[in-house]
Structure 1
Amino acid sequence: MHTPPGSLYVVATPIGNLGDITQRALEVLKSVDLVAAEDTRHSGQLLSRLGIAAKFVALHEHNELQASPRLIADLQSGKNVAIITDAGTPAISDPGTLLVAAAHEAGIRVVPVPGASAVICALSAAGIVAPHWLFYGFLPAKASHRRTALQTLAALPYALIFYEAPHRITECVEDLAAVLGGERRITFARELTKLFEAIHNLPLAKAGAWLAADPNRQKGEFVLIVEGASVAASDEDQRQLRDTLTILLEELPLKQAAHIAARLTGIKKNTCYKLALDMRDDTAAKDVS
């Protein structure tokens, strides 16, 4: 008798705060036959705290290619398998991609169980006005390769999002400033959802000194969000911005008007501020004359 294949569940787990586990994730992890885990000891402790007893199989960056065929065979025999990593969503700068691809190739149902993701967590709290963003993941560890990678991204008009480890954060930020320019702003999102969570925004030109001023700022896992390259506003965008500022400047101080105009139009705050200054100066000159 043919046994229908099981399902592969891609299950997100908390990135720090245990309370971020979803009800659905709990139900899936309790019901599956196997849990493929990046670190079975770490995941064993996590599931134990959640009151779940599971049968684990190791699946990490060093064995995923070899372990995937065995798990595909388990799935084809009818077993349900969940894949989890040490934190966050599997296959997002974490193991899992090869197994998921193999499951699709074998015609096995792949079921995402969404939850915590450091990149989405950071982006939601960064206050980035730009509607478009690009998640790069980890930059190369070697400085020359890292700068080459950044050069390919330098002209993109999207917010750029990176993961970075604490032992490379200083040199990474130095390269970001050198290649992308110190005038762009960077958001540091560190230890998200954990006890020492911190989110800080400043120009790249000042970022190195800010990190060096307090060694604690260099600790923990980082999400870095860097402002995208400036794009010249179209004539229509300029008209819209001028109309918006005309209304706002009637009621608000210049700096606040520029900030709100940037949020409403998506045009960079510096551009809005400069135009607001010009408009104010033009108005003052007309009043004098």
Structure 2
Amino acid sequence: MEAKKGNLYLIPCTLGDTPPLEVLPLLVKKAVEEIDHYIAEHEKNVRSFIKSISPRKSQPDLQISLINKFTDESETPAMLAPCHAGFDVGVLSDAGCPGVADPGALVVAAAHRQNIKVVPLVGPSSILLALMGSGLNGQNFAFNGYLPIDKRERRLEIKRLERLSAERNQSQLFIETPYRNNQLLESILSTVQADTQICVACDITLPTEYIKTLPASVWSKQKVDLNKRPTIFIIQK
């Protein structure tokens, strides 16, 4: 008879320096307190988050496997080995929900192939919170990740997303490295049509949270500094 496997828990964390229990349910705290095996992008961030939500948890007992966008599928069996030994494993993102705009999806896919139960826990997703607060189409939307850095390619991609939005009545979401946010907003405003709706949602769940949706013609008269502030952009034609 096959031994009982542990589960793979997808554990959301905060989107910034917010007290964890202001945005996370108690079930997340319970999972963190019971799990010693983790998969994450950065060990320092994992340890800091675990300490913030469970200060009494023994840090030396933590076993942390690292994953990033360069991780190969062949590395996932070792990460999931504790599950086959009967231990639960937690996947943690640097911010928000693991597996969503996050390399954790690789190990989740491997868990399904290995018949390991995947348990997603409730927590903040900047993508969904931005969409919720935008007033744009939440019935039909697409998340496009990062846009090209090259100015010409980025402009072409913005035009393509605007066209898709019009053809499909679909909200188009995307992000940028925080220190390039202001440049991206400038690119959007200089590219889209005047009546295209633009939502800028930054610092979600933080005291400095800012969410505003306006047509491009009005945005051009606004002054907002998005530099180094995690931001979701949404356009809808």
Summarize the Cα distance change of 1:93–1:140 in structure 2 as closer, same or farther, 3 Å threshold.
farther
Mapping for residues 32-71 of structure 1, pairs under 5 Å: 32-51=35-54, 52-53=57-58, 55-62=62-69, 64-65=71-72, 67-71=75-79
Q: Deviations over 1:29-75 (max 9, x none)?
A: 11123021222112211211212445141423155326422112222
What is the correspondence of 1:74-153 to structure 2 with a 5 Å cutoff? 74-128=82-136, 131-153=139-161
| 2:131 aligned partner, one-letter code | L
Larger RCO (CA under 8 A, 6+ residues apart): 2
- Aligned mates of 2:152, 2:80 — CA distance in 1: 39
8 Å CA contact retained: 1:126, 1:199: yes
Match of 1:9 in 2: 9
- Give the partner amino acid of 1:173: L
Given that residues 59 and 95 in structure 1 are in contact (C-alpha distance below 8 angstroms), is that contact kept between their aligned partners in structure 2? no
More helix by share: 1
Structure 2: 5+ residue stretches without partners: none
Of 180, 186, 203, the match for 2:192: 180
TM-superposed CA distance for 1:129, in Å, is: 5.7
What is the TM-score normalised by the length of structure 1? 0.69
Coordinate RMSD, CA, aligned: 2.3
Distance 1:102 1:41, change over 3 A: same
User: Do residues 222 (structure 1) and 231 (structure 2) align?
Assistant: yes
Give per-residue Cα distances to partners, 1:66-105, cap 9 Å, x unaligned: 6422112222222210000111001111120110111111
Q: Aligned in 2, Cα 1:194/1:47: closer, same or farther, shift over 3 Å?
A: same
Partner Cα separation in structure 1 for residue 110 and residue 127 of structure 2:
25
Question: Residues 28 and 190 (structure 1 numbering): CA distance in 2 closer, same or farther, change over 3 Å?
Answer: same
Larger-Rg structure:
1
Equivalent residue, structure 1, for 2:24:
21
Residue 159 of structure 1: CA displacement?
Answer: 1.4
TM-score under structure 2 length normalisation: 0.83
State the Cα deviation string for residues 242-278 of structure 1 (Å, max 9, x = none): xxxxxxxxxxxxxxxxxxxxxxxxxxxxxxxxxxxxx
Return 5+ residue gaps in structure 1 as ranges. 230-289
Paired residues, number: 225
Please tell me whether the aligned partners of residues 12 and 98 of structure 2 are also in contact (alpha carbons under 8 angstroms). yes
2:209 equivalent to 1:200: no
TM-superposed CA distance for 1:168, in Å, is 1.9
Matches within 5 A, 1:252-271: none
Cα distance change of structure 1 residues 151 and 56 upon mapping to structure 2, 3 Å threshold: farther
1:12/1:88 contact within 8 Å kept: yes
Deviations 1:212-243 (A, max 9, x none): x45x443401011212x3xxxxxxxxxxxxxx
Secondary structure of residue in 2 paired with 1:141: coil
Q: Partners of 2:27 and 2:89 in 1: how far apart?
A: 15
